[in-house]
């Protein structure tokens, strides 16, 4: 088999992995700052997918253009969720937070099942079957666009946390909540903002994902677990780690699906997870606590 084959598969896995990584970024931001594990993350992502599917059906909107709208919508939902429910649970034990978000996830996924039914839905784009030739590789136009958009959003997020005053304030909260409170930061407000940002990011990832995968409610728990795996592999709280983890998992899935059987591809992701948890529990790019 020619090496081009593997290059092609690795490259398309990398592009899918960038979208995975973007979804995981949202989870990482929320966990890194609010210290709450968002167990409804995949459900939020699938909500973003359905949003893009609906907008595509009604207005013929390209998912790339639906993405900002989904970001706005999910930001509002995430903000309200943190203000209304999750904030009360920030100081409570982990299993309580887990049950709360599990309940929310159950509500979300079943609401989507009732609204949209169990069948797969997709968005029609004019370039769905186009391919782009880059050197020896032949890449899908949809995958290239989704991957590029994921990079743009991730870069905007990095810039926000590095350069803006609000971003720095959020990082201060993450490093030392007590100290942040002492210097007068509004912790509850920043937590709500952070949860909103995390939800917005995963909403965008969902909208982009519709370019690659048909929307189904059953995807939600899979994406929740996938985001977790990626965040742990990359390192909790490390934003570049989440992207790197996404790319690694995306590529290992693609190669495993090709070399073994597609039904074994997630076994590979769990294998990577177990190895990383044991050899480097803080993740590839995480700092040892």
Partner 1 sequence: MSGLLGVTGRGLVLLVLAALGLAVAPFVADRYLVSVLTTVLWFAYVGQAWNVMMGFSGLLSLGHALYVGLGAYVSAALFVHFGIGPWAGMVLAMLVAVVAGCIIGFLGFRFGVKGVHFALLTIAFAEVARIGFDHITWVGGSGGFFLPVEAGASDPLNLRGSPVLFYYVALALVVGALFLSRALLHSRLGYQWLAVREEPDAAEASGVDLFRARMTAVAVSSALTALGGVFQAFYFNNLFPEQVFSMGRSIEIILPAIVGGIGTLVGPILGAFILTPLGEVLTFLIEAGGLDLPGLKQLFYGAALVAIVVFRPEGVWPWLARRLRLVRQPGEGA
Number of residues in contact with partner 1 under rule CB under 8 A: 39
CA dihedral 238, 242, 244, 249 (to 10 degrees): 140
Binding mask 140-179 for partner 1 (x = CB under 8 A): ----------------------------------------
Residue closer to partner 1 (CB basis): 181 or 280: 280
Q: Closest Cα partner for 226 from 21, 12, 13, 14? A: 21
Question: Site for partner 1 (CB under 8 A): which residue of 11, 67, 139, 273?
Answer: 273
Residue 156's contacts (CB-CB under 8 Å, 6 or more residues apart) are: none
**Which DSSP category does 235 fall into?**
-
* Residue with smaller CB distance to partner 1, 179 or 271: 271
Q: Return d(Cα 232, Cα 281) in angstroms, integer.
A: 8
Structural tokens at position 134: 């880059």
Tell me if 259 contacts partner 1 by CB under 8 A.
Answer: no
- The residues, any chain, with a CB within 8 Å of residue 7's CB and separated by 6 or more, are 136, 137
- By CB under 8 A, is residue 257 in contact with partner 1? no
Contact between residue 230 and residue 16 where contact means Cβ atoms under 8 Å apart:
no
Task: Indicate whether 37 belongs to the interface with partner 1 (CB under 8 A).
Answer: yes
Residue number, 16 or 266, with CB nearest to partner 1:
266
Chain position carrying tokens 């529990």 = 281
Among 52, 169, 200, 232, binds partner 1 (CB under 8 A): 232
Residue 164 token pair: 């803006």
Of 207-226, binders to partner 1 (CB under 8 A) are 217, 221, 225
Residues that bind partner 1 (CB under 8 A): 37, 85, 88, 92, 94-96, 98-100, 102-107, 109-111, 113-114, 118, 217, 221, 225, 228-229, 232, 263-264, 266-267, 270-271, 273-274, 277-278, 281
């Amino acid at each position: 088999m020619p090496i081009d084959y593997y290059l092609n598969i690795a490259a398309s896995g990398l592009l899918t992995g960038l979208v995975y990584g973007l979804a995981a970024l949202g989870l990482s931001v929320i966990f890194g700052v609010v210290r709450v594990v968002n167990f409804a993350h995949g459900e939020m992502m699938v909500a973003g997918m359905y949003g893009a599917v609906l907008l595509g059906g009604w207005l013929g909107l390209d998912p790339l253009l639906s993405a900002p709208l989904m970001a706005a919508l999910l930001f509002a939902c995430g903000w309200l969720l943190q203000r209304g429910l999750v904030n009360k649970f920030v100081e409570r034990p982990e299993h309580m937070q887990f049950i709360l978000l599990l309940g929310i996830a159950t509500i979300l996924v079943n609401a989507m099942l009732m609204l949209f039914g169990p069948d797969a839905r997709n968005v029609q784009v004019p370039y769905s079957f186009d391919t782009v030739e880059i050197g020896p590789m032949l890449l899908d136009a949809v995958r290239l666009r989704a991957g590029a958009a994921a990079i743009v959003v991730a870069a905007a997020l990095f810039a926000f946390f590095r350069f803006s005053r609000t971003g720095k304030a959020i990082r201060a909260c993450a490093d030392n909540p007590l100290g942040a409170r002492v210097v007068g930061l509004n912790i509850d407000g920043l937590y709500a903002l952070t949860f909103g940002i995390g939800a917005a990011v995963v909403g965008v990832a969902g909208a982009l994902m519709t370019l690659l995968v048909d929307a189904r409610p059953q995807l939600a728990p899979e994406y929740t677990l996938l985001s977790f795996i990626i965040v742990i592999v990359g390192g909790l709280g490390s934003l570049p780690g989440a992207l790197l983890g996404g790319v690694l998992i995306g590529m290992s899935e693609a190669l495993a699906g090709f070399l073994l059987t597609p039904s074994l591809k997630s076994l590979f992701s769990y294998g990577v997870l177990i190895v990383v948890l044991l050899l480097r529990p803080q993740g590839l790019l995480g700092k040892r606590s």
